[in-house]
Amino acid sequence: MMAGVQDPVPADRFAVVPANEASWDDLVAIFGTADAGRCQCQRFKVAGWIWRDSTQEGRTARLRVQTGCGDPAAPTTSGLVGYVDGEPVGWVAVEPRTAYPKLRTSRVPWSGRDEDRDDPGVWAVTCFVVRKGWRGRGLTYLLARATVDFARDRGARALEAYPMITEPGKQVTWGELHVGARQVFEDAGFAQVSHPTLRRVVMRIDFPH
């Protein structure tokens, strides 16, 4: 089946690897030149305003270091790369919540909650990128499910996400949905813990120890 056909991708055709086990060329192919390609998953990491206080070249360099692409022995990485039949098609950012300085000061994660913001045991899913031509085929669902085992296997005590609420008949731009949709995380076993804004919720899954 060719990319662009709008049938869901079967799980048995999908594989995911930590980004350090993927090539940099594969990640570049996924990001392309859209909004995600400009941000390079630095929105929650750049001090200050991302478009004023960083450059495209700097953001790209930071992402390359953070992912450790092409270095299977890297001790850490910042996300997962998804493949369909060996073709790179998707990215999801997932790592300890403390890796995202902007989350510490944002009101979204903390509204109505009293929690240690510097707890290294809580991880976060902050961004999805699906390669152009593969969108609308359920890949964010497969990527979100993969984050659960990845975080748990690397010692996370809990995993959070900050998705958008989508409503039938109301269009949401791809750029807004880089954080994912609520139903994507519900499907992966997350539960809603707060509703800080009209269109944003905090979802979480706690791992037993």
Domains and CATH numbers, the chain: 13-206 (3.40.630.30)
Higher pLDDT, 166 or 144: 144
Q: How far is CA 101 from CA 1, 46, 78, 196, in A?
A: 41, 8, 14, 19
Q: What is the mean pLDDT of residues 22-28?
A: 97
Strands 200-206 and 158-161: antiparallel
pLDDT at residue 196 greater than cutoff 80: yes
**pLDDT at residue 166 in the model:** 85
Q: What is the pTM of this model?
A: 0.92
pLDDT, one tens digit per residue, over 94-125 is: 999 999 999 999 888 898 888 899 999 999 99
Higher pLDDT, 153 or 47: 153
pLDDT, one tens digit per residue, over 27-72 is: 999 998 656 678 999 999 998 888 899 999 999 999 999 999 999 9
**pLDDT at residue 3 in the model:** 45
Among 31-40, 129-138, 140-149, which stretch is predicted with the lowest mean pLDDT? Answer: 31-40
